[in-house]
Amino acid sequence: MKKPVFTGSAVAIITPFFADGSVNYDELGRIIDSQIAHGTDAVVICGTTGESSTLNDAEHIECIRYTVRRVAGRVPVIAGTGSNDTAYAVALSRQAEAAGADALLLVTPYYNKTSQAGLVAHFSAIANAVQLPCILYNVPSRTGCNLAPATVAELAKLPNINAVKEASGNIAQVTEIAALCGDDINLYSGNDDQIVPILSLGGKGVISVLANVAPKMAHDICAKWFAGDTAGSLALQLAALPLCRALFADVNPIPVKWAMNELGWAAGSCRLPLVAPSAAVQQQLKAALDSADVCRAE
């Protein structure tokens, strides 16, 4: 059995920006502290929600370094270091390891995509270059590349391929991963509306967009499940659905960043090409925020 990097809810944290587009590290620190205070079990920095694709190399590494320093061992820090360029992902992963990250989140290659054999070679090269636990990230709606269950099973033979964040939305595929891999891989939901279904398949938690605005809710869905209160966990999952839908009513992280600003955090705007949500999405978000147990800036 591979020890999970975390159990529960890991926030896929936003990267706050000043008006000039530079990283607002002080606000990132405030958000990190609030997340931990409200029960978040791990912090994922420089993931999709953190706009990693528009962070330059210096910003990417400094965000990881800053998060490691600010978290100060209170919860695990997971650094997004995936790329469609294997050599670049190896270099970034080594830098994240040197910066003190506890684990890596590695998205499947995008645009050039590759075959399943290519995925094995790609992830093996990264895993063999570092000592940290590696969490594979499958999100074919963004990458155009699906990580097949048999490929996960092959990669799970490597000792530091620890987990998979499954965001395909295909529960049948997650079921097959669980059947093929058993205790050789840890499963995390990559979709906030599928936390309980994946927990029911032996999942260890969620890497969550929802947690940015409702950290206690995301944490409690998992905590209740693991405490044996499956009915309570399900009730919270169902209660979260309107907010989950609103947070994905436009391209992530457009809605969640707007919501963070609405809650009083200095999240700033998304970097282009991402633009503000429509008036209709804003109204949907306001209604969902008003009806949920959200975390307002203090």
Residue 52 belongs to a domain with what CATH number? Answer: 3.20.20.70
Query: Is 140 among the domain residues?
Result: yes
For residue 298, the model assigns a pLDDT of: 82
Burial class (CB in 10 A: 0-12, 13-18, 19+), 58: exposed
Q: What is the mean pLDDT of residues 55-73?
A: 98
% helix / strand / coil in the chain, to the nearest 5?
Answer: 50, 15, 40
Q: pLDDT band at residue 1, thresholds of 50, 70 and 90?
A: confident
Give the active site residue among 137, 188, 204, 216: 137
Residue 126's domain spans which residues? 8-240
Q: Going along 58-148, which residue ranges are E strands?
A: 77-80, 103-107, 134-138
Would you say residue 10 has pLDDT above 90? Answer: yes
C-alpha angle 11/14/17, rounded to 5°? 160
Q: What is the mean pLDDT of residues 168-182?
A: 97
Query: Is 42 among the domain residues?
Result: yes
Strand, coil or helix: 194: helix
Query: Is 86 among the domain residues?
Result: yes
**Cα(234)–Cα(284) distance, integer angstroms:** 23
Query: Is 127 among the domain residues?
Result: yes
For residue 35, the model assigns a pLDDT of: 98
* CA dist list (Å): 19 to 5, 91, 267, 270, 297: 35, 31, 10, 10, 19
Query: Is 182 among the domain residues?
Result: yes
Q: What percent of the chain has pLDDT over 90?
A: 99
Query: Is 2 among the domain residues?
Result: no
Rounded mean pLDDT of the chain? 98
Query: Is 285 among the domain residues?
Result: no
Tell me whether residue 88 is one of the annotated catalytic residues: no
Query: Is 248 among the domain residues?
Result: no
Give the active site residue among 66, 165, 216, 224: 165
Q: Say how far residue 146 (Cα) sits from the centre of its chain.
A: 17
Q: What percent of the chain has pLDDT over 70?
A: 100
Counting the structural domains of the chain, the total is 1
Tell me whether residue 286 is one of the annotated catalytic residues: no
C-alpha angle 118/124/126, rounded to 5°? 110
